[in-house]
Structure formats: C-alpha cells, structure tokens
Amino acid sequence: MKTIAVLTSGGDAPGMNAAVRAVVRTACENDMKVYGVIRGYNGLINGDFIEMNLRTVSDIINRGGTILYSARSVEFATEEGMRKAIRTCQEWGIEGVVVIGGDGSFRGARDLSERGIPCVGVPGTIDNDIACCNYTIGYDTCLNTIMEMVDRLRDTSESHDRCTVVEVMGRKAGYLALNAGIACGATSILVPEVEFDVQKHIIERMEKTQRTGKKHFIIVAAEGVRLDVDDLAKEIQAKTGVESRSLILGHVQRGGSPTVKDRVMATRMGNYAVKLLMDNIGNRVVAAQKEEIVDYDIFEALNMTKGIDLELYNVAHEVSI
C-alpha cells in the first residue's frame, strides 16, 4: 500500500493522539502517503481529510483527546453511508485505513474490509472492554484519573466521617471500577459481572468495619450496574446512620495527559497497525496480550468474550475491610 488513512472513532481516550502520531510517522518513514480523517467515519463519508506529515503530529504525544476529533456516525452504520465512504476512499486513492476506537468502530472496520477497503483496528477506549485485548489505550490514564479524584474524596469523607458512593465509567464492563476500587481502598466495589446485594455487600461490610473503628467509607460502583447512586447513598445513610453522598465522576474520566503506559502502548500499536497494512494485510485488530502486541481477525475478535478477573475481585473483597 502507498496511501492510507487514520481515524479516531467512538468515545475518545487519552493516548489516541500518541497512536495517531505513531501511525503517521511509521507511514512517512516507509514512504507512504497518510491522510488524517476528521471526526471518525463522518469524515470518511465526506472526504474530510488532512494530509499528514512528520510535523502535523508534533507535540501531541502528551495531549489527551484526539487532534482528529471523534464522532459516533449514524450515517456510516447505514448501507448508503458505507457505500459513500467506500466511494470517497476510492476517489482519494486510499488503500487501507487504521481505525482507532472501540468495538463499535471495529464493526465498521470489519464492514469496510469486507467491501474491499482493508482496515486495521487499534483498541482505543478507556473501558478496557475489548475481548481480544487485556489492555486498551486510555485505560491506564483513566484509572489514574479516577484514583486521583477518589483520593480527594477520601480526604473530605474522612474529615466528616462520611460515606461517598462514586460511580465510574466502563460501559457494560467493571474493569475500571474493580481496579480503581482496589487502588482507592473502597469498602465495596460493585461491578456488572458479579451479582450483589446491597444489604450483604455494602451495609453488612460497613457495619463490620464500623465495629473495628472505621468511620468513613468509599463505595465504587461501575456505571454498568445501572444503579442510581444517589438513591444508594440515601439507603446507606438510612440503614447505617453514616452521612452519605454520591458522585458520578462523568467525563472528567476521559480527559487528561496520557500516562507512560498509554503513550508507549499506543505507539507500539500504531506502528504495528501500519506494518500490517504495508504487507497488504487488513481486516485485523491489533491487540495487547500481556506485554506482547499481536493481531486477530476482526470478525474473530468481535466474537470473543472476556470476563472480569474473579480472583482479583475476591482479593479486593478480602482486603477492603
């Protein structure tokens, strides 16, 4: 391939810029032309492209968000939108596309590949919910952001002998909640993968620790448990007598300068993706398996499942008392 494009799609994640930089620089180093697509699949439909070079990706490795902007494109998910995107790629001579995003974006990449535009997916999502990867770009930064925010909440919870219920992101998965909950010393961690009972998993644990002298509490709930954290805080206060507050951390979790881990993994994955396209290999997802970068067929990747680490969940349960 001599001409490729790179886009970011779905929810943004810190480290996407580092991945874009790696894609552009690897392509340039190997004498390929590379277009940056603006606003995900919408840009691919409308031909909203910027020709990238070594300097268009200067000073972005440290920046959160995505310089290419992101979008959730309703039009692209239609047959007509998909056809338009293919036509645009053909008009611009684009032979392959690197898609940085989550599993929704990979479904789009699979459809494009099936219709003759080879794509390589790079996992960029804070949720770490891509089954073929044990790590996704943005996850580490997001965990550190949650930890910093909850540490601050702990200070004030302690000063006032309060319980604070914090809802964190993660879509349908509990990876962020579990690992952030451990790092923050949460008394209870609620994840969608493990059934819980408010009385047993929160109230009784709080009462048990109260008897040992504990007076302030952090409860971390994944958004995927679909619980009203305000109602939960009221219930905790009514049942334990501990003043309780709730907080949905929200979009602060998406932003910020990427951590070392996210920058390094994004760089390795972006580089790997271009190497696949250079060898005319498409319809693949780049994945991190422990410390190694590997790749899977997109169709196969989308059909894989991964569960939460129950051993880790049990460790959390045992030490958070």
Among the candidate windows 24-32, 88-96, 100-108, 182-190, which touches ligand ATP by CB under 6 A?
Answer: 100-108
Sole binder of ligand ATP in the list 10, 36, 118, 123 (CB under 6 A): 10
Residues in the chain: 321
- DSSP type of residue 10: S
Q: Does 104 bind ligand ATP (CB under 6 A)?
A: yes
Count of beta carbons in the 10 Å neighbourhood of residue 37 = 30
| CA-to-CA separations, 259 to 20, 69, 88, 278, in angstroms, rounded | 16, 20, 36, 29
Q: Does 102 bind ligand ATP (CB under 6 A)?
A: yes
Name which of 11 and 192 has its Cβ closer to ligand ATP.
Answer: 11
Please report the sign of the dihedral spanned by the C-alpha atoms of residue 108, residue 111, residue 117, residue 118. Answer: positive
Write each residue from 28 to 67 as x if it is in contact with ligand ATP (CB under 6 A), else as -, in one continuous string: -------------x--------------------------
Residue listed under structure tokens 């805080």: 233
Sole binder of ligand ATP in the list 84, 107, 239, 317 (CB under 6 A): 107
Q: Is 127 a catalytic residue?
A: yes
Pairing of strands 119-123, 284-289: parallel
Name which of 14 and 102 has its Cβ closer to ligand ATP.
Answer: 102
Among the candidate windows 4-12, 23-31, 51-59, 185-193, which touches ligand ATP by CB under 6 A?
Answer: 4-12
Sole binder of ligand ATP in the list 17, 88, 105, 157 (CB under 6 A): 105
Closest contact distance (angstroms) between CB of 111 and ligand ATP is 5
Would you call 261 exposed, middle or buried from its count of C-beta atoms within 10 A (0-12, 13-18, 19+)? middle
Name which of 66 and 125 has its Cβ closer to ligand ATP.
Answer: 125
Name which of 125 and 188 has its Cβ closer to ligand ATP.
Answer: 125
| CA-to-CA separations, 270 to 29, 39, 72, 122, in angstroms, rounded | 13, 18, 21, 7
- The footprint of ligand ATP on residues 108-137 (CB under 6 A) is 108, 111, 125, 127
Sole binder of ligand ATP in the list 8, 17, 26, 73 (CB under 6 A): 73
CA distance 30 to 27: 5
Name which of 71 and 233 has its Cβ closer to ligand ATP.
Answer: 71
N-terminal to C-terminal alpha carbon distance within the chain: 57
Would you call 238 exposed, middle or buried from its count of C-beta atoms within 10 A (0-12, 13-18, 19+)? exposed
Sole binder of ligand ATP in the list 1, 4, 11, 217 (CB under 6 A): 11
Phi, psi of 60 (to 5 degrees): -120, -10
**Residues noted as catalytic:** 127
Q: Give the residues lining the site for ligand ATP (CB under 6 A).
A: 9-11, 41, 72-73, 76-77, 101-105, 107-108, 111, 125, 127
